[in-house]
């Protein structure tokens, strides 16, 4: 009876896992199939072809979009880590008069749904003349309130004696942050880095608002426009373009799954 | 000024400036925009309460609200049931536990745009994988995304599938907090599996369930890319989400005042729904 229960459990788990994995496997295999094989369930194409990838690459600037996405996500992640740490350090470890107000404002901002500020932010970008620039994609994300609060929480636990003795040695605050705090904060830095990068890598609504020039589009935006505008022409081609966005993520996820889960589960859902 | 005071101000200034320009100003300007008419080309003009009046009588807006009700009333219960069931399956000594968890979490790391494109093909009437399976089982194919009745539920199921891994983690964390002594005690009493679930597991997980309800409501109201890619808000506007309607007003019709008004209404709605849920579940807790 007990053994039977275990078999049933594993059977159920396998079935459940298949519903989460199979669509992605099917997607990968469909991109390698010629058009007439698309409607089949099999994972191994009878005739393997790279035509879908050739077509996709020739019809829209996916190489450029990959670079745009990498540039935007990397810049934002670096900024959120560096500027976020500096801010969190001040908010956690330096006593100054504006600090309680800054803490309160950060909490308040997190409670406001993004839909409220979407249009005012968009009109701001228009007035700054930033439509179709990298600045529009990057600048509004340079600081991240969730990241700052997480870093602050971690920085609060580092002993004051480390700061005191470093100051005695004549170290400045930034040096204390980057040479003493950062090495101790690797776990939280990794968590912040992953959810920031993934949030930016997968974001599509904001780019759809502020970028119209094809050469400045990020990957999720270009593949959405490509699939909707009929540029793809077929399911295989459209899924092939999606693979460009998915493959790097799946490779990173395969190696760092525990960190991904910890990071993305800790920060709420995005994308 | 003390050195610490000075460095504090110095290090916090860039963030304070950012917060003022990219967070506080947009919040304030959202409220101002409600009273303006602005196409971004000609200067904005004062419109009094026109936007609010228009919203109150706008059939498309209320259709979008009704669509969100349909979406959330399928998405939230389904999300709770699937996440809880899978978390309980994972919360035992398993071979390859990390693998199962990673498999369920996989769609969470994939872009919503990709998931929407993928599921458009899975839901496709003629060549879709799902109808292929139905036909094999001797059933008739369903026009999932082109039938006004099935389109929104189909999207709700897909979003639940995409996010379940995230909510599994929340429930798994909660399950680990149920003391072993309680589990042993209730087993000694001779409780059946169902009784154990009903009287120990479920009540112990109330804080997690409240979190799942709140987060899936907040995330659910953000529904945009799925209808944008899969249905364009159709058929018969039945999948037009509030964010998609807001986007259309801003991007296609250049009505900044009206789009911002929808945004404000949406934010108020989220606040009200979440507060109501907290009340209801809080009352259930007291009983």
User: How far is residue A70's CA from residue A66's CA, in Å, rounded to a whole number?
Assistant: 6
Query: What is the Cα–Cα distance from B44 to B257, expressed in whole angstroms?
Result: 9
What pLDDT sits at residue A37? 77
pLDDT at residue B269 in the model: 96
Whether the CB of A260 is below 8 Å from some CB of chain B: the reply is: yes
Task: Give per-residue burial for B222-249: e unless 16+ CB within 10 Å, then b.
Answer: bbbbbbbbbbebebebbbbbbbbbbbbb
Task: Report the C-alpha gap between A83 and A79 in whole angstroms.
Answer: 5
Q: Which of B149, B158, B148, B163 is nearest to B123 (CA)?
A: B158
Judge whether residue A270 has pLDDT over 50: no
Q: What is the rounded distance in angstroms from the CA atom of residue A95 to the CA atom of residue B12?
A: 11
Which residue would you say has higher pLDDT here, A119 or A2?
A119
Structure-block tokens of residue A235: 């399911």
B179 vs chain A: nearest CA distance in angstroms?
A: 23
DSSP state of B192: -
Q: Which of B155, B159, B177, B175 is nearest to B101 (CA)?
A: B175
In which band, very low, low, confident or very high, does the pLDDT at A271 lie, cut at 50, 70 and 90? very low
Residue A177 DSSP symbol? I
Q: What is the DSSP letter of A204?
A: -
Q: How many CB atoms lie within 10 A of CB B158?
A: 23
Q: SS3 of B207, please?
A: helix
Residue-level pLDDT at B182 = 81
Tokens of B241: 């989400």
Domains of chain B and any CATH numbers: 34-286 (1.10.3720.10)
Q: What is the pTM of this model?
A: 0.93
Confidence at residue A52, expressed as pLDDT on a 0 to 100 scale: 92
Residue A223 has pLDDT above 50, yes or no: yes
pLDDT above 70 covers a percentage of chain A that reads 98
B264 membership: H or E segment, kind and range: helix B256-286
Structural domain boundaries of chain A? 2-51, 62-266
Give the residue from A8, A103, A117 with the most B CB atoms within 10 Å of its CB, the best one to mutate. A117
> Is the pLDDT confidence value at A43 over 90?
no
pLDDT of A36 above 80: no
ipTM score: 0.92
Instruction: Determine contact: A17 vs chain B, CB below 8 A.
Output: yes
Q: What is the secondary structure of A109-153 as a DSSP string?
A: HHHS-HHHHHHHHHHHHHHTT-TTSHHHHHGGGSS-HHHHHHHHH
Give how far A44 is from chain B: nearest CA, Å. 15
Angle between helices B112-123 and A2-30 (to 10 degrees): 100
pLDDT at A1: 56
Contact B109 A260 (CB under 8 A): yes
CB within 8 Å: B264 and A91: no
- The domain covering A62-266 belongs, at the CATH homologous superfamily level, to MetI-like (1.10.3720.10)
pLDDT at A70: 96
Residues 117-136 of A with CB under 8 A from B: 117-124, 126
- What's the mean per-residue pLDDT of chain A? 92
Position A268 confidence tier, pLDDT thresholds 50, 70, 90: low
Residue from A25, A98, A118 to probe the interface with B (highest B Cβ count within 10 Å): A118
Beta strands in chain B (DSSP E): 36-37, 45-46
By the 8 A CB rule, do B217 and B277 touch? yes
Q: How far apart are CA B36 and CA A136, in angstroms?
A: 24
Interval A61-73: pLDDT, tens: 999 999 999 999 9
| pLDDT greater than 90 at residue A199 | yes
Interface mutation target, options A3, A20, A249, chain B, most CBs of B under 10 Å: A20
Residue A87 contacts residue B15 (beta carbons within 8 Å)? yes
Residue A34 predicted with pLDDT over 70: yes
To the nearest whole percent, how much of chain A has pLDDT over 90? 79
Across the range A172-184, mean pLDDT stands at 95
Per-residue pLDDT, B178: 84
Identify the helix (H) or strand (E) that includes residue A81.
helix A62-93
Q: What is the pLDDT along chain B (287 residues), one digit of tens a residue?
A: 588 899 999 999 999 999 999 999 999 999 999 999 999 989 999 999 999 999 999 999 999 999 999 999 999 999 999 999 999 999 988 888 889 999 999 999 999 999 999 999 999 888 788 998 899 999 999 999 999 999 999 999 999 999 999 999 999 999 988 887 887 888 788 888 888 888 888 988 999 999 999 999 999 999 999 999 999 998 999 999 999 999 999 999 999 999 999 999 999 999 999 999 988 887 766 55
Q: Do A205 and B247 touch (CB under 8 A)?
A: yes
Residues in chain A with CB shorter than 8 Å from the CB of B221 are 113, 115
So what's the pLDDT on residue B209? 94
CA of B149 to nearest chain A CA: how many angstroms apart?
Answer: 23
Give Cβ neighbours of residue A203 (< 8 Å, ≥ 6 apart). A218, A220, A270, A271
Q: With contacts defined as CB-CB under 8 Å, which chain A residues touch B9?
A: 96, 98
Q: Given an 8 Å threshold on Cβ–Cβ distance, is B263 in contact with A17?
A: no
């Amino acid at each position: 009876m007990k053994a039977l229960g275990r078999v049933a459990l594993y059977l159920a788990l396998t079935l459940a896992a298949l519903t989460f994995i199979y669509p992605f496997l099917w997607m990968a295999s469909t991109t390698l199939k010629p058009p007439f094989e698309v409607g089949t369930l099999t994972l191994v194409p009878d005739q393997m072809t790279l035509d879908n990838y050739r077509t996709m690459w020739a019809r829209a600037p996916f190489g450029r979009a990959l670079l745009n996405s990498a540039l935007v996500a990397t810049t934002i992640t670096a900024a959120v880590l560096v500027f976020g740490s500096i801010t969190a350090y001040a908010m956690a470890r330096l006593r100054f008069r504006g600090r309680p107000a800054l803490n309160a404002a950060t909490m308040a901002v997190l409670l406001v749904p993004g839909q409220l500020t979407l249009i005012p932010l968009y009109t701001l970008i228009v007035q700054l003349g930033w439509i179709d620039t990298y600045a529009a994609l990057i600048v509004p994300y340079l600081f991240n309130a969730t990241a700052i609060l997480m870093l602050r929480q971690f920085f609060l636990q580092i002993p004051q004696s480390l700061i005191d003795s470093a100051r005695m040695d004549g170290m400045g605050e930034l040096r204390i942050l980057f040479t003493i705090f950062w090495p101790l904060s690797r776990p939280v830095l990794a968590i912040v880095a992953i959810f920031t990068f993934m949030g930016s890598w997968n974001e599509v609504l904001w780019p759809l608002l502020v970028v119209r020039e094809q050469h400045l589009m990020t990957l999720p935006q270009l593949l959405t426009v490509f699939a909707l505008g009929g540029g793809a022409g077929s399911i295989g081609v459209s899924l092939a373009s999606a693979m460009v966005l998915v493959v790097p993520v799946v490779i990173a996820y395969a190696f760092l799954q525990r960190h991904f889960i910890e990071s993305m589960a800790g920060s709420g859902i995005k994308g | 000024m003390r050195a610490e005071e000075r460095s504090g101000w110095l290090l916090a200034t860039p963030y304070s400036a950012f917060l003022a320009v990219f967070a506080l100003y947009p919040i304030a300007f959202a409220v101002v925009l409600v009273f303006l008419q602005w196409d971004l080309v000609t200067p904005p003009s004062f419109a009094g309460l026109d936007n609010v009046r228009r919203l109150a009588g706008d059939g498309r807006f209320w259709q979008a609200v009704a669509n969100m009700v349909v979406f959330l009333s399928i998405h939230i219960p389904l999300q709770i049931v699937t996440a809880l069931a899978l978390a309980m399956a994972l919360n035992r000594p398993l071979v390859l536990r990390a693998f199962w968890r990673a498999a369920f979490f996989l769609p969470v790391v994939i872009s919503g745009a990709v998931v929407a494109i993928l599921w458009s093909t899975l839901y496709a009437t003629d060549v879709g994988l799902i109808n292929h399976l139905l036909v094999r089982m001797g059933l008739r194919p369903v026009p999932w995304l082109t039938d006004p009745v099935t389109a929104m539920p189909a999207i709700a199921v897909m979003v639940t599938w995409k996010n379940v891994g995230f909510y599994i983690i929340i429930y798994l964390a909660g399950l680990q907090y149920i003391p072993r002594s309680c589990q042993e005690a209730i087993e000694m009493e001779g409780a059946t599996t169902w009784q154990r679930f009903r009287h120990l597991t479920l009540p112990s997980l109330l804080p997690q369930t409240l979190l799942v309800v709140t987060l899936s409501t907040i995330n659910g109201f953000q529904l945009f890319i799925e209808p944008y890619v899969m249905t364009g808000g159709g058929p018969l506007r039945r999948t037009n989400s509030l964010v998609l309607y807001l986007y259309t007003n801003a991007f296609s019709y250049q009505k900044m005042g009206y789009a911002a008004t929808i945004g404000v209404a949406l934010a108020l709605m989220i606040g009200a729904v979440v507060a109501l849920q907290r009340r209801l579940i809080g009352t259930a807790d007291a009983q």
